[in-house]
C-alpha cells in the first residue's frame, strides 16, 4: 500500500505533468496539496507586498481549475495555508504518507524549501522525489553538459538548433487519480470559497478593459481549460503567422501570444505549446512568425538552464560580474518609478498599465527596466521584486534572468543595455496612442 503526497507548485495542471503522472502510477492513495506560503503575506525588503492583487487573482483561477480537474477524476485539491514545510509535515503525519513528489524548481528559495522538507521527513523515513519538467528541452537532451552551457544565448540557440534536439510529446492527463488517504477528511465542497478568501477576491479591483491580458475573459482564464481555449483560438486565427511582425506592438490582446501567464502558473507546459505550434506549421505552413515563437521559447529555456548552471550566483547584487561595481539605489526615485511619476510620459504610461493590469509587453518591460536601472540609478533587484509582486506571468527564471541581463550583470558580453526612452517612444509609439491610452484615456500625446 503506497500513500503518496503530491506537492503542486508551478505545475498546476494534470496534462503533461510527468511528476504527477509518476506519483499517480506509484500510489494507492494520493493527496494532492497546494500550500499558500505564509511568506506571501510578508512585505519584501523593498517595502511592498510580495504578491499583489493581480497575481493573487490568477493564482486563484489556477487553483480552482486544478481542483475541478482533480474532482472530475475522483480526487480534489487539499489547499493549505502557512509555512510549507510545517504544513506538509502535518499532512504527512495525518495521512500516514510514505512518499512525497514535487516538481524541481532551480531557484534558491524554492530549492531551500525542498531541502528543508527533505530534512524534516528524513527521520520519518519518507523520501521526497523531485522531477525536472518545466523546460521545453529536457536538460539531459541538450547537446552539452549543463556546466558547458554557452554563456550567451545565440551560441546556445545555434547548438540546440543544429543538434535538432528531439522534444518528447506531451503526456495526456491520467484518466483517474488515486483517492485521498482515509485519514484525511475529503472536502465535499469545492475549494472556491476558500480560494476566494485566500486570494483576496473581495478586495480585488475589476480587470481593466484596456488590458492586453484581461484574465476575466474566458479565453484568458488561467486554468487548464482556459489555456487550451486560448491556445486554440490563437492558432485558429492564424496569429503565429503574423507574430514576428506584431510582437513589438504595445496595445491589444493579439500582438503577442500571451502564453506566458499559462506557462508561468504551469496550467500549460512548454511542450504542449510547442507541439501545438508544430502542428500549426504542418497544417498551415511555417514562416518566420512560427519560427520566432519557438525562438522565444528557447529564451525561456535558456534562463532555466542558466539557473541550473549558476544557481544562487544569479541572485547576487553583481550577478555573474563580480568585478563590476555594485548597483546603487535611491528609494525616492524607485517610488516615483513604481508609482508612474517619473515625468517621462512613455515610462509613466507603462507603469500605469502595469499597476492596473499586472501585464506589460516585452518591449515595455525592457524599456521600464532599463529606465529604472540606467536612468534612475536604482538597484535592479528592487525592480525585479516589483515585477515579481505584480506580474500575472511571474516566472522566477525569466524574471531574474531578464533583469540581470538588462542590468549588465548577466552573461551579455556587451555589458549594460540601456534603451533610450525617447527613441523607444518614437519607434514604438510614434502617434502617442499608447501614452494616450494609459495616461489620459483617449487623447493623443505628441510623440
Ligand atoms: C525585465 C523583464 C522581466 C520579465 N519577467 C518575466 C516573467 O516574470 N515571466 C515571463 O514569463 N516572462 C518574463 N519576461 C519575458 C517576456 O517579457 C514575457 O515572457 C513576454 O512578454 C510574455 O508575453 P507573451 O506570452 O505574449 O510573449 P511572446 O512574445 O508571445 O513569446 C512567447 C513565449 O516565449 C517566452 N518568452 C518571450 N520572451 C521571453 C524573454 N525575453 N525571456 C524569457 N522568455 C520569453 C514566454 O514564455 C512567452 O510566453 C520578462 C522580460 C523582461 C524584459
Residue 264, H or E segment? helix 260-265
Specify the pLDDT at position 323. Answer: 87
All three cell numbers of 134: 518545466
Ligand 1 pocket, residues with Cβ under 6 angstroms: 247, 256-260, 263-264, 293, 296-297, 299-300, 303, 361-362, 365-366, 369, 387, 391, 393-395, 398-399, 402-403, 406
Would the pLDDT of 416 be above 90? no
Lowest mean pLDDT among 60-64, 262-266, 320-324, 400-404: 320-324
Helix (H), strand (E), coil (C) string for 111-177? HHHHHHHHHHHHHHCCCEEEECCCCCCCHHHCCCCHHHCCCCHHHHHHHHHHCCCCCCCCCCCCCCC
Please tell me the distance from the alpha carbon of residue 399 to that of residue 394, in angstroms, as a whole number: 7
Cell 549543463 identifies what position?
Answer: 146
Cell 486554468 identifies what position?
Answer: 223
Question: Residues 9, 12, 15, 17: what is their CA dihedral angle, to the nearest 10 degrees?
Answer: 0
Our CA angle for 215, 245, 266, nearest 5°, is: 35
Question: How many angstroms does the Cα of residue 398 sit away from the middle of ligand 1?
Answer: 7
Please tell me the distance from the alpha carbon of residue 59 to that of residue 264, in angstroms, as a whole number: 10
| pLDDT one-digit tens code per residue, 190-234 | 788 888 876 776 677 789 999 999 999 988 999 999 999 999 999
Ligand 1 atom at minimal distance to the Cα of residue 369: 1
Question: How many angstroms does the Cα of residue 409 sit away from the middle of ligand 1?
Answer: 19
Domain with CATH 1.10.579.10 in the chain: 316-439
| DSSP at 222 | S
Question: How many angstroms does the Cα of residue 428 sit away from the middle of ligand 1?
Answer: 18
Quickly count: other Cβ atoms within 10 Å of residue 441's Cβ: 8
| pLDDT one-digit tens code per residue, 126-146 | 999 999 999 999 999 999 999
All three cell numbers of 290: 512560427
Would the pLDDT of 446 be above 60? no
Residue whose Cα lies nearest atom 53 of ligand 1: it is: 366
Domain with CATH 1.25.40.80 in the chain: 135-168+217-311
Specify the pLDDT at position 198. Answer: 67
Q: Residue range 417-442: average pLDDT? A: 93
Would the pLDDT of 242 be above 70? yes
pLDDT band at 447, cuts 50/70/90?
very low
Please tell me the distance from the alpha carbon of residue 281 to that of residue 433, in angstroms, as a whole number: 33
**CB 199 within 8 Å of CB 59:** yes
Q: Which CATH architecture has domain 316-439?
A: Orthogonal Bundle (1.10)
Ligand 1 atom at minimal distance to the Cα of residue 361: 21
Please tell me the distance from the alpha carbon of residue 84 to that of residue 116, in angstroms, as a whole number: 10
Q: Work out the percent of the chain whose per-residue pLDDT is above 70.
A: 96
Mean of the per-residue pLDDT values of the chain: 94
* Region class of 16: left (phi > 0), else alpha (psi between -120 and 50), else beta: left
Lowest mean pLDDT among 193-202, 241-250, 296-305, 372-381: 193-202
All three cell numbers of 81: 495555508
Question: How many angstroms does the Cα of residue 117 sit away from the middle of ligand 1?
Answer: 31
Residues 6+ apart with CB under 8 A from 215: 54, 57, 58, 61, 207, 221, 222, 261, 392
**CB 252 within 8 Å of CB 117:** no
Question: How many angstroms does the Cα of residue 95 sit away from the middle of ligand 1?
Answer: 39
Specify the pLDDT at position 189. Answer: 78
Specify the pLDDT at position 208. Answer: 94
Would the pLDDT of 157 be above 90? yes
Question: How many angstroms does the Cα of residue 243 sit away from the middle of ligand 1?
Answer: 14
Q: Considering Cα of 98, then 103, then 108, then 113, what sign does the dihedral take?
A: negative
Closest Cα partner for 351 from 447, 248, 421? 421
| DSSP at 49 | B
Pick the CATH number of 135-168+217-311 from 1.25.40.80, 3.30.1330.40, 3.20.20.100, 1.10.3720.10: 1.25.40.80
Would the pLDDT of 410 be above 90? no
Would the pLDDT of 443 be above 50? no
Question: How many angstroms does the Cα of residue 166 sit away from the middle of ligand 1?
Answer: 23
Domain with CATH 3.40.50.620 in the chain: 1-133
Our CA angle for 439, 440, 446, nearest 5°, is: 80
How many CA atoms are closer than 13 Å to the CA of 4, on its beta-carbon side?
23
Q: Work out the percent of the chain whose per-residue pLDDT is above 90.
A: 89
CATH 3.40.50.620 fits 1-133, yes or no: yes
Please tell me the distance from the alpha carbon of residue 387 to that of residue 354, in angstroms, as a whole number: 9
Q: Residue range 254-261: average pLDDT? A: 98
Burial class (CB in 10 A: 0-12, 13-18, 19+), 216: exposed
* Alpha-helical runs (H) found in 36-101: 53-72, 84-94
Specify the pLDDT at position 324. Answer: 87
Ligand 1 atom at minimal distance to the Cα of residue 260: 49
Quickly count: other Cβ atoms within 10 Å of residue 303's Cβ: 22
Would the pLDDT of 118 be above 60? yes
> Edge to edge, what strands does the sheet with 99-103 contain?
78-82, 29-37, 3-7, 99-103, 128-131
**CB 5 within 8 Å of CB 99:** yes
Residue whose Cα lies nearest atom 16 of ligand 1: it is: 362
Please tell me the distance from the alpha carbon of residue 315 to that of residue 46, in angstroms, as a whole number: 15
Amino acid at each position: 500500500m503506497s500513500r503518496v503526497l503530491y506537492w503542486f507548485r508551478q505545475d498546476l495542471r494534470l496534462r503533461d505533468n510527468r511528476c504527477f503522472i509518476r506519483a499517480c502510477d506509484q500510489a494507492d492513495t494520493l493527496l494532492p496539496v497546494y500550500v499558500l506560503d505564509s511568506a506571501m503575506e510578508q512585505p519584501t525588503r523593498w517595502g511592498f507586498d510580495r504578491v499583489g492583487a493581480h497575481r493573487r487573482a490568477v493564482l486563484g483561477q489556477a487553483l480552482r481549475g486544478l481542483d475541478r480537474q482533480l474532482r472530475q477524476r475522483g480526487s480534489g485539491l487539499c489547499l493549505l495555508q502557512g509555512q510549507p514545510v510545517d504544513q506538509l509535515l502535518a499532512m504527512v503525519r495525518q495521512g500516514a504518507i510514505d512518499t512525497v513528489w514535487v516538481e524541481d524548481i532551480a531557484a534558491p528559495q524554492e530549492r531551500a524549501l525542498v531541502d528543508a522538507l527533505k530534512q524534516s521527513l528524513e527521520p520519518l523515513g519518507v523520501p521526497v522525489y523531485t522531477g525536472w519538467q518545466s523546460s521545453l528541452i529536457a536538460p539531459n537532451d541538450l547537446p552539452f553538459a549543463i556546466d558547458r552551457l554557452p554563456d550567451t544565448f545565440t551560441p546556445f540557440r545555434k547548438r540546440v538548433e543544429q543538434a535538432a534536439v528531439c522534444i518528447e510529446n506531451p503526456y495526456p492527463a491520467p484518466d483517474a487519480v488515486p483517492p485521498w488517504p482515509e485519514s484525511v477528511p475529503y472536502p465535499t465542497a469545492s475549494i472556491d470559497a476558500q480560494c476566494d478568501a485566500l486570494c483576496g477576491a473581495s478586495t480585488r479591483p475589476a480587470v481593466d478593459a484596456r488590458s492586453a491580458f484581461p484574465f476575466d475573459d474566458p479565453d484568458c482564464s488561467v486554468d487548464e481549460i482556459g489555456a487550451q481555449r486560448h491556445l486554440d483560438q490563437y492558432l485558429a486565427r492564424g496569429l503565429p503567422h503574423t507574430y514576428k511582425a506584431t510582437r513589438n506592438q504595445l496595445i491589444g490582446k493579439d500582438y503577442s501570444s500571451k502564453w506566458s501567464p499559462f506557462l508561468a502558473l504551469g496550467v500549460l507546459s512548454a511542450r504542449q505549446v510547442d507541439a501545438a505550434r508544430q502542428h500549426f506549421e504542418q497544417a498551415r505552413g511555417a514562416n518566420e512568425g512560427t519560427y520566432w515563437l519557438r525562438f522565444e521559447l528557447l529564451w525561456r529555456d535558456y534562463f532555466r538552464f542558466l539557473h541550473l548552471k549558476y544557481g544562487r550566483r544569479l541572485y547576487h547584487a553583481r550577478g555573474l560580474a563580480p568585478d563590476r561595481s555594485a548597483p546603487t539605489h535611491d528609494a525616492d526615485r524607485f517610488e516615483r518609478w513604481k508609482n508612474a511619476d517619473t515625468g517621462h510620459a512613455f515610462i509613466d504610461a507603462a507603469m500605469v498599465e502595469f499597476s492596473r493590469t499586472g501585464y506589460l509587453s516585452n518591449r515595455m518591460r525592457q524599456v521600464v527596466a532599463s529606465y529604472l536601472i540606467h536612468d534612475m540609478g536604482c538597484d535592479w533587484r528592487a525592480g525585479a521584486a516589483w515585477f515579481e509582486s505584480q506580474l500575472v506571468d511571474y516566472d522566477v527564471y525569466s524574471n531574474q534572468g531578464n533583469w540581470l541581463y538588462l542590468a549588465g550583470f548577466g552573461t551579455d558580453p556587451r555589458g549594460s543595455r540601456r534603451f533610450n526612452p525617447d527613441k523607444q517612444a518614437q519607434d514604438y509609439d510614434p502617434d502617442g496612442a499608447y501614452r494616450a491610452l494609459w495616461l489620459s484615456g483617449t487623447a493623443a500625446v505628441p510623440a
